[in-house]
């Protein structure tokens, strides 16, 4: 029996079928647009058009002076209107966590190794480095015994945010899990904030199948960590994995991993 990877968070996709809008078609004529009709007749004051134009110029100069004075007073009394875009938020601190080239090699997975001692396939990992974000990832499959057809997926991801504060996205991920009907449980004493999520998703065609997912999210300063376990079982064909046993293993191995990366959780 196999288990699909845990659900991912898709990005935006532009809507199809957008219609381009164009402006009105120009009418024939030297200007490209139809001549206006029905406009009121302008009556010129005595003294000719020169006098009228002069008054318009003085009104324009006076208006500009008034506008400049108002803006100067506004700048002095409400300086945030001018300077608010120049304020740069402080970069998040990575709380002593370090970057490693092989997250799978760093993650000992002591507890999960006792539950599922037989690896299945080759673990996959990557590490990326950018100015704003360092990202470490590991995924692997494990079995209770080598001949067992049932396997369990374990995913690990640690990100070091060096420019943007990850708190808003961290909270948004929790809200997203809640919308997907995960059971959310706060985890006190782990990082600055942490929470567990659990989902028992019955099969779409065969309701006797259950697809199970445990996730753990941790944030400490600019470090965010995501770990998960997923497995499946069929009613009447085998026992369901012990939920509490998996939860404790996930928390224990996550703490072990964060300490190995230089954390103090």
Task: Tell me the per-residue pLDDT of 151-162, one tens digit each, with 9 for 90 and over.
Answer: 999 999 999 999
User: Picking from 2-16, 75-89, 179-193, which range would have the lowest pLDDT averaged per residue?
Assistant: 2-16
- 111-141 core/surface letters (b: 16 or more CB in 10 A; e: else): bbeebbeeebeebebeeeeeeebbbbbbbbb
- DSSP one-letter code for 231: E
Strand residue runs (E) in the chain:
118-129, 133-143, 152-161, 183-186, 193-202, 209-220, 223-234
112 in Cβ contact with 82 (< 8 Å): no
Which pLDDT does position 161 carry in this prediction? Answer: 96
Q: What are phi and psi of 241, to 5 degrees?
A: -60, 145
Rounded CA separation 90/25 (Å)? 52
Mean pLDDT, to the nearest integer, of 169-183? Answer: 97
Region for 221 from its dihedrals, namely left if φ exceeds 0, alpha if ψ lies in -120 to 50, beta otherwise: left
C-alpha closest to that of 94 among 261, 255, 228: 261
Which pLDDT does position 160 carry in this prediction? Answer: 97
Q: What are phi and psi of 202, to 5 degrees?
A: -70, 155
Residue 185 has pLDDT above 50, yes or no: yes
pLDDT band at 149 (very low <50, low <70, confident <90, very high): confident
Residue 92 has pLDDT above 70, yes or no: yes
Mean pLDDT, to the nearest integer, of 38-63? Answer: 46
pLDDT band at 209 (very low <50, low <70, confident <90, very high): very high
Which pLDDT does position 156 carry in this prediction? Answer: 98
Rounded CA separation 88/143 (Å)? 49
Query: Residue 1's CB: how many other CB atoms inside 10 A?
Result: 13
Which pLDDT does position 80 carry in this prediction? Answer: 47
Residue 171 has pLDDT above 90, yes or no: yes
Give the strand order in the sheet containing 193-202: 118-129, 133-143, 152-161, 223-234, 209-220, 193-202, 183-186
Residue 108 has pLDDT above 70, yes or no: yes
pLDDT band at 94 (very low <50, low <70, confident <90, very high): confident
Which pLDDT does position 147 carry in this prediction? Answer: 83
Question: Do you know the residue count of the chain?
Answer: 265
């Amino acid at each position: 029996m196999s288990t699909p990877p845990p659900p991912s968070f898709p990005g935006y996709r532009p809507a199809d079928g957008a219609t381009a809008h164009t402006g009105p078609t120009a009418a024939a004529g030297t200007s490209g647009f139809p001549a206006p009709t029905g406009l009121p007749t302008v009556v010129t004051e005595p003294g000719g058009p020169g006098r009228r134009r002069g008054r318009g110029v003085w009104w324009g100069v006076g208006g500009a002076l008034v506008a400049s004075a108002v803006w100067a007073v506004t700048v002095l009394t409400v300086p945030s209107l001018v300077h608010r875009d120049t304020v740069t938020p402080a970069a998040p601190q990575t709380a002593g966590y370090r970057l490693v080239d092989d997250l799978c090699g760093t993650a000992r997975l002591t507890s999960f190794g006792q539950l599922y001692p037989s690896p299945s396939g080759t673990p996959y990992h990557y590490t990326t480095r950018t100015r704003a974000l360092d990202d470490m990832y590991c995924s692997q499959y494990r079995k209770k015994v080598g001949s067992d057809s049932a396997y369990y997926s374990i995913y690990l991801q640690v990100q070091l945010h060096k420019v943007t504060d990850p708190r808003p996205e961290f909270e948004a991920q929790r809200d997203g899990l809640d919308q997907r009907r995960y059971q959310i449980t706060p985890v006190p004493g782990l990082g600055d904030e942490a929470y567990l999520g659990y989902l028992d998703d019955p099969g779409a065609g065969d309701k006797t199948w259950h697809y199970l997912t445990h996730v753990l999210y941790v944030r400490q300063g600019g470090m965010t960590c995501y770990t998960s376990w997923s497995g499946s079982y069929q009613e009447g064909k085998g026992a369901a994995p012990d939920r509490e046993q998996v939860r404790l293993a996930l928390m224990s191995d996550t703490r072990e991993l964060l300490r190995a990366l230089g954390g103090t959780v």
